[in-house]
Amino acid sequence: MDGKLRTSIKAGQRVRIVLKQHQRTGQLTEGVVKDILTNSPSHPHGIKVRLSDGAVGRVKEIIE
More confident residue, 40 or 1: 40
3-state secondary structure of 59: strand
pLDDT at 1 over 80: no
Could you report the per-residue pLDDT of 32-58, keeping only the tens digit for each? 999 999 999 999 999 999 999 999 999
Beta carbons of 50 and 8 less than 8 angstroms apart: no
User: Closest Cα partner for 10 from 54, 53, 49?
Assistant: 49
Mean pLDDT (the chain) is 96
Distance of CA 45 to the CA centre of its chain: 10
Domain boundaries, the chain: 6-62
User: What is 6-62's CATH number?
Assistant: 2.30.30
Q: What pLDDT is attached to residue 2?
A: 82
